[in-house]
Amino acid sequence: MKDLKGKNVIVTGGSRGIGLEIARAFLKEGANVFTIARNGDSLAASVRNLKKDVKPGRTVAGYSCDVGNREGIAGTIRQIASQNGGIDVVINNAGMYVPDYFERQDLEVFERTDRTNYLGAVFTTKAALPFLLERRRSAIVFVTSGAGLKGIFGYSSYSPTKAAVLSLAEVIKQELKGRGVQVAVLCPPDVDTPGHAEELKIRPTECNALSESGGLMTATEIAGILMSGFRKEKFLIIGGFETKLLYRLNGISPRFVDFCFERLIVRSRRNNSKKHPCPVGRHEA
């Protein structure tokens, strides 16, 4: 989709981080933007922040809702469509990630992460689809992750949800072929966001060894990468050299990628065992 002027765009998780900058990028293109997040206060503050980027005659508004609540999100989507004359684009960005060792990770975290990342995208897309199909051209974007392209150490509650979202996008793209709905998947690398800052405080040390060569992108940069890929109607939009390399190498030789990961994990454990004994069980190379 090239011309976004006057289009109605929904961004879930648009109150901070990547979603906030995606919302801003669409506003700068002349779209109307409707953000969804749970916390009403931070949503209101983010909408005030976005107002300066609204083009004349356009609008931005926030709707407080949990994407994991299927009746709630269906009602919110209907409300946005009826109050604003339909929906052209849905960005499924709302997500959560709580890294830990599988052995230690609470089952409640698996359920909550799945409900937000995967079912949240299902509920939102299912509710929006009838409105998207009313348009001649419309679009659905799914924000996944490099961790959805390959299972990553410490992300047992997260990687599978993002792989599921990628698979969902592939199915929807095939099923909607020829019906005017563009489908895209954004795979960000590590991005500097409030969520990522929290993640850094708790993630197992081995995760640092796996991600340290990738650097940290800004939310504005990844939103720019999305807009560029979106305009070119690309399906898979991967941000950052390391994530692109991971995608290509894992496609050619997953065993080689596993070997590289295992080397990094063993080296990280060796370095850290001198300082801190590993917190979960015995780990042997």
Bridge partners for 35 per DSSP: 11, 62
DSSP assignment of 74-94:
HHHHHHHHHHHT--SEEEE--
Nearer to ligand NAP among residue 7 and residue 196 (C-beta): 196
Nearer to ligand NAP among residue 70 and residue 135 (C-beta): 70
Nearer to ligand NAP among residue 4 and residue 17 (C-beta): 17
Orientation angle between helical segments 120-133 and 159-175, nearest 10 degrees: 20
Cβ 5 to ligand NAP shortest distance, Å: 25
Phi and psi for 88 in degrees, rounded to 5? Answer: -110, -35
Nearer to ligand NAP among residue 120 and residue 229 (C-beta): 120
Q: Which residues of 85-106 are buried (b: 16+ CB within 10 A; e: fewer)?
A: eebbbbbbbbbbbbbbbeeebe
Q: With 0-12 CB in 10 A as exposed, 13-18 as middle and 19+ as buried, what is 221?
A: middle
Cβ 73 to ligand NAP shortest distance, Å: 8
Cβ 68 to ligand NAP shortest distance, Å: 5
Cβ 142 to ligand NAP shortest distance, Å: 9
Q: Given the rule CB under 6 A, which residues bind ligand NAP?
A: 12-13, 15-19, 36-39, 42, 66-68, 93-97, 116, 120, 143, 145, 188, 190-191, 193-196
Eight-class DSSP state of 6: T
Helix (H, G, I), strand (E, B) or coil at 165: helix
Cβ 226 to ligand NAP shortest distance, Å: 11
Phi and psi for 61 in degrees, rounded to 5? Answer: -150, 155
Nearer to ligand NAP among residue 195 and residue 269 (C-beta): 195
Nearer to ligand NAP among residue 120 and residue 154 (C-beta): 120
Cβ 106 to ligand NAP shortest distance, Å: 17
Name the amino acid, one letter, at 137.
Answer: R
